[in-house]
């Protein structure tokens, strides 16, 4: 099947959803008001609370939410064929993902930039709030590990890719100093310089493998993990304007520009989808995703359809920088629609590869040998490896196969053919930027959540401006997700990440339902209640199947103590998360029953002064 009709239909559906459905949410459900003072102005401290230009903040938010999920999830789900993932991406992003992001962002903005955990505590009471807080903390650690392992698999032993990504850090620091200290407000100048620096990094990286710097930038899987941990720590403790905002803003240009180019490429090149609509693995037994199409396609594709992690970004950092309430529509709903588009083009790029090449890249060589007996054979992979100057067979995780699919489409555009190696490494940089901007924002959000917990034991830890507390919390968070990356694999981390992420989406949608009910708009509760119910069913089903078929069997491998420990750890963590979800949902239902029997209240009003977060 040709990709062009799919792309045209998807673009039309997303445009209609933004024009009409998001306008309905903004006007009827939330009643956005630009006269209301946002916490970015009221609590401006120049560190965490900071009024920000709508488009700069859009760039930061889009960069922060668009991690590995919309890129890697659809690629891995292509195991089932292109149709299941395509349907879930479009329906999920319009009716679930963008709705959650928008409502949580508005709620947090009207609650002085409170985090999702704090809002849950305020709305559900101490028990529901505690369950949500514990779940959020576990989810963050696992989610960041799921995102990070993709970068590790893509950059290990690749000097070109590692050099290109490394250059983005000093470029971002220079942009931050330029925009906020040297030439205040000169965003366009800083942007131009930053984009030139990024493209120079891609071009110069070509010469690194053959230079004396090759040893510095050719890093093992373990060293890439440690380098990423160091970056996550620095991004968490430095002021947002110095590294986080400029890097995310710069990354958003690269992300949106690349996605736009890929959309144009799909329209002009019109690649053929070589992967069938449905494969033989829809009933289970696939070499990449262990279970059947239901429920595993819904936890494999998270970001791009619906992602609980986005609720943490919307309430953890973005809401503290919203300058006007109406900006929430563009930043919350609009950015999520673009992420859905990212998922669609990633799916098209992956499915444009031959099925044999796709599986040869995304499965270990030993497992692919068994697939060859089923009729899956390598088609053009040896030629592609020679042209991109990298060995990619057996490079599991989805990132490499996506980069090859993107590079083939770009290389087929008029006037830019013959540059497959550059396009491939450009795509790798694009993917790594996508993911690392979520790593830095996610680590900072996890730091906030950790400080809230530790602050109940030692009050100064709750202060966001207390440097020792920030450093201790950041180190604990980084150590947590770094451990899972160091010891895990994509086959076990990604499904667990999917469960954790969708569990958090249930919490975000439940909070949205509570706020709608509290505001006296019970007739609109279906907006969040329907997707919340669906995601709850798919997540709990997947958790049960993952424990019984993947995690628990590891505990019986007595000749491998490491796998036994990981089996017990993954099982216990999954059970804890699902228990927290059950407790939270019980308290949520009790809250809804009380609310429906009580007069409506102005839940969207700001909390009393004594509940304002410490600056």
Angle at the Cα of 608 from the Cα atoms of 598 and 460, rounded to 5 degrees: 125
Task: Report the range out of 323-332, 395-404, 557-566 with the highest average pLDDT.
Answer: 323-332
Rounded Cα distance between 385 and 18, Å, is 41
Contact 14, 94 (CB under 8 A): yes
Largest CA distance in the chain: 73
Which residues on neighbouring strands pair with residue 450, listed in sequence order? none
Please determine, for residue 613, whether its predicted confidence score (pLDDT) is greater than 50.
no
Q: What is the mean pLDDT of residues 572-585?
A: 89
pLDDT of 248 reads: 66
Distance CA 448, CA 470 (A): 8
For a pLDDT cut of 90, what percent of the chain falls above it?
30
519 Cβ contact partners less than 8 Å away, ≥ 6 residues apart: 600, 601, 602, 603, 604
Taken in order 165, 166, 167, 168, is the CA torsion positive or negative? positive
156 pLDDT exceeds 60?
yes
- Structure confidence at residue 505 (pLDDT): 93
Is 615's pLDDT higher than 70? no
Sign for the pseudo-dihedral over CA of 361, 365, 370, 373: positive
Mean pLDDT across 203-225: 84
Per residue in 589-600, pLDDT (tens digit) is 998 998 888 765
User: Which position has the higher pLDDT, 578 or 189?
Assistant: 578
CA distance 262 to 376: 27
Better-scored residue on pLDDT, 600 or 210: 210
What are the φ/ψ torsions at residue 272 (nearest 5 degrees)? Answer: -90, 135
Q: Which of 62-66, 242-246, 448-452, 582-586 has the lowest mean pLDDT?
A: 242-246
Indicate the helix (H) or strand (E) that contains 605: none
The mean pLDDT of the chain is: 84
pLDDT band at 374 (very low <50, low <70, confident <90, very high): confident
Q: What is the number of alpha carbons within 13 Å of residue 382 lying toward its C-beta?
A: 3
Please state, in angstroms and rounded to a whole number, the distance separating the CA atoms of residues 429 and 258.
11
Query: What pLDDT was estimated at residue 612?
Result: 40
Q: Could you state, in order of their start, the residue ranges of all structural domains in the chain? A: 4-45+58-157+219-442+476-611
Q: Is 490 left (phi over 0), alpha (psi -120 to 50) or beta?
A: alpha
pLDDT at 371 over 80: yes
Confidence of residue 464 (pLDDT cuts 50, 70, 90): low
Confidence check: pLDDT of 605 > 50 = no
What is the structure's pLDDT at 609? 39
The pLDDT score that the predictor gives to residue 336 is: 95
Closest to 65 (Cα-Cα) out of 31, 100, 40: 100
Global pTM reads 0.83
Reply yes or no on whether the pLDDT at 222 is more than 90: no
Mutual angle of helices 221-237 and 116-155, in 10-degree steps:
150
Region for 391 from its dihedrals, namely left if φ exceeds 0, alpha if ψ lies in -120 to 50, beta otherwise = beta
Q: Who contacts 103 (Cβ-Cβ below 8 Å, separation ≥6)?
A: 25, 29, 30, 332, 512, 515, 516, 528
Distance between CA atoms of 337 and 97, rounded to whole angstroms?
A: 8
pLDDT in tens, 474-522: 888 888 888 888 876 666 677 778 888 898 899 999 999 988 888 788 8
Work out the pLDDT band at 17, boundaries 50, 70, 90.
very high
Q: What local confidence, expressed as pLDDT, does residue 608 receive?
A: 45
Bridge-partner residues for 272, per DSSP?
A: 2
pLDDT at 164 exceeding the cut of 50: yes
Nearest to 501 by CA among 270, 328, 302: 302
Query: In angstroms, rounded to a whole number, what is the distance separating the alpha carbons of residues 301 and 109?
Result: 28
State residue 491's pLDDT score. Answer: 64
Cis peptide preceding 295, ω within 30 of 0: yes
Angle CA 115–119–120, to nearest 5: 115
**Distance separating alpha carbons of residues 241 and 180, to the nearest angstrom:** 7
- Tell which wins on pLDDT, 465 or 563: 563
Whether the CB-CB separation of 126 and 139 falls below 8 Å is answered with: no
Q: What's the average model confidence in pLDDT over 351-363?
A: 91
**In contact, 388 and 420? CB cutoff 8 Å:** yes
Q: Domain 4-45+58-157+219-442+476-611 maps to which CATH number in 3.30.465, 1.20.1740, 2.60.40, 1.10.20?
A: 1.20.1740
d(CA 595, CA 514): 8
Residue 610 confidence (pLDDT)? 38
Q: What pLDDT score was predicted for residue 611?
A: 42
| 408 vs 383: CA distance, rounded Å | 12
């Amino acid at each position: 099947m040709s990709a062009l009709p799919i792309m045209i239909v998807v673009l039309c559906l997303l445009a209609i959803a933004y024009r009409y459905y998001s306008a309905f949410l903004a006007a009827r459900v939330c009643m956005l008001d630009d006269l209301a003072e946002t916490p970015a102005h009221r609590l401006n401290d120049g560190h965490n609370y900071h009024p920000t230009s709508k488009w700069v903040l859009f760039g930061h938010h889009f960069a922060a939410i668009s991690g590995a999920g919309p890129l890697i999830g659809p690629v891995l789900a292509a195991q089932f064929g292109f149709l299941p993932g395509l349907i879930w991406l479009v329906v999920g992003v319009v009716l679930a993902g963008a709705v959650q992001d928008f409502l949580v962002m508005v709620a947090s903005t009207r609650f002085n930039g409170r985090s999702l955990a704090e809002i849950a505590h305020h709305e559900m009471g101490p028990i529901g709030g505690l369950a949500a807080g514990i779940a959020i903390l576990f989810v963050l650690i696992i989610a960041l590990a799921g995102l990070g392992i993709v970068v590790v698999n893509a950059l290990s032993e690749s000097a070109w890719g590692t050099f290109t990504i490394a250059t983005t850090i000093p470029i971002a620091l220079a942009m931050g100093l330029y925009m906020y200290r040297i030439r205040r407000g000169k965003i366009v100048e800083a942007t131009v310089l930053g984009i030139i620096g990024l493209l120079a990094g891609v071009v110069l990286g070509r010469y690194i493998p053959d230079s004396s710097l090759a040893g510095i930038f050719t890093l093992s899987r373990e060293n890439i993990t440690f380098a990423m941990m160091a970056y996550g720590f620095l991004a968490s403790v430095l002021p947002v304007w110095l590294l986080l905002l400029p890097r995310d803003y710069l990354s958003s240009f690269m992300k949106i520009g690349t996605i736009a180019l890929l959309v144009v490429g799909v329209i002009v090149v019109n690649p053929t989808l070589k992967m069938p609509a449905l494969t033989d693995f829809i009933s289970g037994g696939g070499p990449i995703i262990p279970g059947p199409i239901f429920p595993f396609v819904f936890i494999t594709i998270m970001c791009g359809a619906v992602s609980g992690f986005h609720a943490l970004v919307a309430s953890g950092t973005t809401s503290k920088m919203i300058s006007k309430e109406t900006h929430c529509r563009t930043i919350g709903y609009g950015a999520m629609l673009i992420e859905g588009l990212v998922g669609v083009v990633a799916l098209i790029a992956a499915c444009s590869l031959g099925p044999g090449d796709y599986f040869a890249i995304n499965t270990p060589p030993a497992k692919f040998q068994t697939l060859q007996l089923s009729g899956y054979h390598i088609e053009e992979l040896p030629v592609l490896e020679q042209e991109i100057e990298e060995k990619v067979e057996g490079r599991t995780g989805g990132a490499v196969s996506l980069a090859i699919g993107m590079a083939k489409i770009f290389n087929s555009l008029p006037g830019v053919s013959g540059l497959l190696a550059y396009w491939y490494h450009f795509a790798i940089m694009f993917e790594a930027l996508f993911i690392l901007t979520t790593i830095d924002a996610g680590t900072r959000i996890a730091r906030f959540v950790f400080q809230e917990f530790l602050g109940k034991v030692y009050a100064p830890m709750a202060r966001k401006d207390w440097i020792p507390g920030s450093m201790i919390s950041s180190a604990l968070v980084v150590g947590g997700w770094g451990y899972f990356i160091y010891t895990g694999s994509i086959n076990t981390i990604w499904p667990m990440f999917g469960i954790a992420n969708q569990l958090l989406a249930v919490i975000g949608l439940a909070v949205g339902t509570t706020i709608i009910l509290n505001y006296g708009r019970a007739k609109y509760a279906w907006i969040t209640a329907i997707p919340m119910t669906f995601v709850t069913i798919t997540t709990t089903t997947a958790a049960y199947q993952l424990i019984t078929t993947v995690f628990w069997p590891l505990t019986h491998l007595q000749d491998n103590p490491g796998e036994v420990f990981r089996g017990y750890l993954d099982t216990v963590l999954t059970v804890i998360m699902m228990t927290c979800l059950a407790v939270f949902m019980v308290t949520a239902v009790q809250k809804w029953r009380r609310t429906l029997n009580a007069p409506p209240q102005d839940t969207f009003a700001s909390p009393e002064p004594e509940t304002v977060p410490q600056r």
